[in-house]
Amino acid sequence: MKNLLEYIDSKEAEMLEFLESLVNIDSGSYDKAGVDRVGDVLAERLAALDIAVQRSPQKELGDHVIGCKPGTGNQRILFIGHMDKVFPAGTVQKRPFHIEGGRAFGPGVMDMKGGITCLIYALEALKIAAPETYRQMAMDVVFNSDEELLSPTSRPIIESRAKQAQAVCVFEPARPGGEYVIQRKGVGKYILKIAGRAAHAGAQPEDGRSAVEELAHKIIALHALNDTATGTSVNVGVIHGGERPNIIADQAYAEIDLRVADQQTAASIDKRIREIAAAQTVPDTTSKLSGGIQFPPMLPTEESTRLFETLQKAGRVLGLELSGIATGGGSDGNTAAQFSPTLDGMGPRGGGAHSDREYMETATLAERAKVTALFLAEWLKVQGR
């Protein structure tokens, strides 16, 4: 154990340099070239860890990078991290990676290039300082390119690897207080399109059928589904409609975000959303709803609780009392948890995700890598009993 910690301590400056190299590559979800550059860097690092690498080619988005390593033991673990971030090309030029007052700043520094860095160096520490443990561990690694889009093309890859794993670790950032994530709400995304009939708003308004008016009724009904008691949130966050103020709008558009605590609520609210979309208030308008639940709820199980207890034991070696928390945000952990015990929030601590204020607390980069390395060693020991 001491060798693992000493190795990571010796690499702390290098970890920050590696993180800087990742952050300073623009890799927005729709920036295929940028995401593929990140994938090239990570593929090279995985190969150096004796992990066989393959690419899952994508036409419009970045290619997914998938690693696989056999082990001498019979336990398999899946590691997940996403390469894409929400910021468009050109963001790095405006605010590149820099460190100030114990915090590292830059687009994607916390979400989630910091987490990817933690994973790479935790595995490297095991390979160099605990080679027998590393040989024992069978693993899959999925670095996907579309998590910020709710993983439409990588979900089948994650599902197939999670089905083969005895445990899953997701390197999303820690919560603000350093907590790991042991529960997540389910996430749904819907698109609602409404067609009406255009007419002159002054001369012949009676001939028109306002799609915007119809959408307004539906928005009120959708927001009435919010229920803090059950942890349900419905948000119509994007709307468009009409062309000019003197034309009765013949079309309207809305994007709807849904968060639910459990599967039963998910099914119930999904049904209500579809009923609201199908109902008609303004005559002669038609509505089309697409989408649904993208990330199912991630709920604690007996197996995931034991997995977290193993993580807590690793933390105590460092004098840390690690805690777990439920969160409303979704991740690929939601998907993986349907098939295997899952720990999420394995990355470093920070704040301001998805904003120009995003930062990572630099001291937690090496700290979380140490916890991960110690956890993996302990997990293999427990599984071998």
CATH number of the domain where residue 212 is located: 3.30.70.360
Domain boundary among 234, 266, 295: 295
Q: What range defines the domain where residue 246 resides?
A: 186-295
pLDDT band for position 382 (50/70/90)?
Answer: confident
CATH number of the domain where residue 302 is located: 3.40.630.10
Same domain for 36 and 106: yes
Give the model's pLDDT for residue 2: 84
Domain boundary among 243, 260, 295: 295
Give the model's pLDDT for residue 361: 98
pLDDT of 378 higher than 90: yes
Same domain for 117 and 49: yes
Same domain for 192 and 172: no
Same domain for 250 and 291: yes
Selected residue with higher pLDDT from 28 and 1: 28
Same domain for 155 and 29: yes
Same domain for 50 and 177: yes
Distance from chain centroid for Cα 239: 24
Domain boundary among 295, 330, 364: 295
pLDDT of 119 higher than 90: yes
pLDDT of 45 higher than 90: yes
Token pair 């933390």 is found at 315
Cβ(116)–Cβ(23) under 8 Å? no
Enumerate the H helices of the chain as residue ranges: 2-10, 12-23, 32-48, 91-94, 115-129, 131-136, 155-164, 211-223, 263-278, 302-317, 332-336, 363-383
Give whole-number Cα distances, 299 to 15, 76, 181, 251, 326, in Å: 33, 21, 10, 39, 9
| Residue (of 163, 147, 153, 158) closest to 57 by Cα position | 153
Same domain for 366 and 315: yes
Same domain for 125 and 213: no
Domain tally, the chain:
2
pLDDT band for position 383 (50/70/90)?
Answer: confident
Give the model's pLDDT for residue 54: 98
Same domain for 310 and 276: no
Per-chain mean pLDDT for the chain: 97
Same domain for 73 and 159: yes
pLDDT, tens digit, 9 for 90 and up, residues 120-134: 999 999 999 999 999
Same domain for 342 and 267: no
Q: How far apart are CA 250 and CA 213, in angstroms?
A: 10
pLDDT, tens digit, 9 for 90 and up, residues 147-163: 999 999 999 999 999 99
Token pair 């190795």 is found at 7
Length in residues, the chain: 385
* Cα angle: 234, vertex 226, 186; to 5 degrees: 50
Same domain for 110 and 25: yes
